[in-house]
């Protein structure tokens, strides 16, 4: 063992320390602790700016700086292990203490690897290397990684260090997992639907969506089990992912830009000067700050109505979230300008003929 070789070296070259167990144990622990502090000092000296962005950037320097704590704690635990070996090597309890310290060392390095993997996922999401791992789906993958890595760490420490037979435990966990999956069927359905939503990305946080049942609002949260929408009344609606994932969702801001076309129905009397009416409508669109110049606004004739000529007034707006307010502004201005320019807005008329007998 390394511990025995170090003790033998001290006995050969520093015999006055090796002759006393207490002094030898204190000397060994102090030596490794001092080495750990020295290495920590060197890390801070040569990488003084790293701690500010250690969890935000993926590069070689950050990865090296992550080694500071594993090396520091490994040296501390190693010194503790040798010091206790000097005192307790002849007692039965020594093996358990040794395995406990070795388990702590494994935990330190497993946490280090976990942090590196998380940093890698962050790098992939920022660089947009794949459509699966994005800023929106990153919390999901971090949670799944945490669960998997925790179970993996328990298995490694239990089987490699404590030499436990994990076959029976894994079989029991399989039975328990099956029972839990049956009991939490709806929850698991929502979770799997959430994973597919993260993968397909039919919408993202900030999008304005309309559901098939008529509910609409802005996506404010996409979780494993549910999606949250904030409607026009500032009411938060929570929808299970299994529901929203299985029905039609109309994403009005799903394109690369957030533009939306409004189709306003306008009816004028048959006696109207249609060229004048078209100019008035286009002027209204031009003066409204929320209406975009490109694509240009249009006035299109749709049909001959029972009492009116029916047109569509098509305008493009910047943000679908404000569409109801903009629609109100445009309709209000249409009424004002039509009255000003003596353009009649007809209403349905019924001629009643009374025949006297």
Q: What is the pLDDT of residue 191?
A: 79
CATH (residue range 260-340): 3.30.70.100
133-154 tens-digit pLDDT: 777 678 778 888 998 999 899 9
Give CATH 2.30.30 domain extents, the chain.
208-251
pLDDT at 12 over 80: no
**Lookup: tokens for 204:** 């993202």
Is the pLDDT at 57 greater than 60? The verdict is: no
pTM beyond cutoff 0.85: no
Q: Tell whether the model's pLDDT for residue 214 goes beyond 80.
A: yes
Higher model confidence: residue 49 or residue 65? 65
Q: Where in the chain is the domain with CATH 3.30.70.100?
A: 260-340
pLDDT of residue 37: 93
| Better-scored residue on pLDDT, 328 or 86 | 328
Residue 260, CA atoms < 13 Å, CB-side half-sphere:
22
User: Contact 32/26 with Cβ under 8 angstroms?
Assistant: no
Q: What is the 3-state secondary structure (H, E, C) of the chain?
A: CHHHHHHHHHHHHCHHHHCCHHHHHHHHHHHHHHHHHHHHHHHHHHCCCHHHCCCCCCCHHHHHHHCHHHHHHHHHHHHHHHHHHHHHCCCCHHHHHHHHHHHHHHHHHHHHHHHHHHHHHHHHHHHCCCCCCCCCCHHHHHHHHHHHHHHHHHHHHHHHHCCCCHHHHHHHHHHHHHHHHHHCHHHHHHHHHHHHHHHHCCCCCCCEEEECCCCEEEEEEECCCEEEEECCCCCEEEEEHHHHCCCCEEECCCCCCCCEEEEEEEEECCCCCHHHHHHHHHHHHHHCCCECCCCCCEEEEEEECCCCEEEEEEEEECCHHHHHHHHHHHHHHHHHHHHHCCCCCCCCCCCCCCCCC
Answer for the pair 135, 76: CB distance below 8 angstroms, yes or no: no
For residue 51, pLDDT beyond 60: no
pLDDT at 348: 74
User: ∠ CA(14), CA(29), CA(64), 5° rounding?
Assistant: 115
CA distance from start to end of the chain: 126
- Residue 122 has a pLDDT of 85
CB burial class (10 A; 0-12, 13-18, 19+) of residue 26?
A: middle
| Of 79 and 192, more confident | 79
Q: What is the CATH number assigned to the segment(s) 208-251?
A: 2.30.30
Residue 259 clears pLDDT 80, i.e. is over it: yes
Average pLDDT score over residue span 237-244: 92
Whether pLDDT at 303 is above 60: yes
């Amino acid at each position: 063992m390394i511990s025995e070789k170090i003790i033998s070296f001290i006995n050969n070259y520093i015999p006055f320390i090796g002759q006393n167990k207490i002094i030898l144990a204190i000397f060994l622990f102090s030596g490794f602790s001092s080495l750990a502090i020295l290495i920590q000092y060197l890390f801070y000296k040569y990488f003084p700016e790293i701690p500010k962005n250690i969890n935000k950037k993926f590069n070689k320097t950050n990865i090296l700086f992550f080694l500071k704590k594993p090396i520091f704690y490994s040296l501390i635990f190693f010194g503790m292990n040798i010091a206790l070996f000097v005192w307790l090597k002849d007692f039965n309890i020594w093996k358990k203490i040794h395995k406990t310290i070795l388990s702590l060392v494994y935990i330190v390095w497993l946490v280090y690897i976990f942090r590196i993997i998380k940093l890698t996922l962050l790098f992939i999401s920022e660089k947009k290397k794949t459509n699966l791992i994005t800023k929106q789906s990153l919390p999901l993958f971090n949670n799944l990684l945490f669960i998997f890595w925790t179970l993996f760490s328990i298995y490694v420490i239990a089987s490699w260090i404590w030499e436990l037979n994990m076959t029976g435990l894994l079989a029991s966990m399989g039975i328990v997992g099956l029972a839990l999956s049956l009991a939490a069927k709806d929850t698991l359905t929502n979770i799997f639907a959430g994973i597919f939503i993260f993968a397909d990305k039919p919408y993202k946080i900030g999008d304005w969506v309309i559901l098939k049942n008529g509910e609409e609002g802005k996506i404010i949260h996409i979780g494993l089990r549910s999606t949250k929408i904030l409607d026009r009344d500032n009411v938060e609606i929570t929808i299970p992912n299994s529901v929203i994932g299985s029905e039609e969702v109309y994403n009005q801001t799903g394109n690369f830009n957030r533009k939306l076309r409004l189709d306003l129905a306008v009816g004028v009397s048959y006696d109207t000067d249609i060229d004048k009416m078209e100019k008035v409508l286009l002027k209204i669109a031009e003066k409204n700050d929320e209406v975009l110049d490109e694509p240009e606004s249009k006035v299109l004739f749709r049909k001959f109505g029972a009492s009116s000529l029916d047109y569509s007034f098509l305008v493009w707006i910047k943000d679908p979230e404000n569409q109801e307010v903009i629609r109100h502004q445009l309709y209000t201005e249409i009424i004002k300008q039509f009255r000003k320019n003596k353009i009649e807005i007809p209403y349905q008329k019924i001629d009643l003929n009374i025949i006297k007998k």
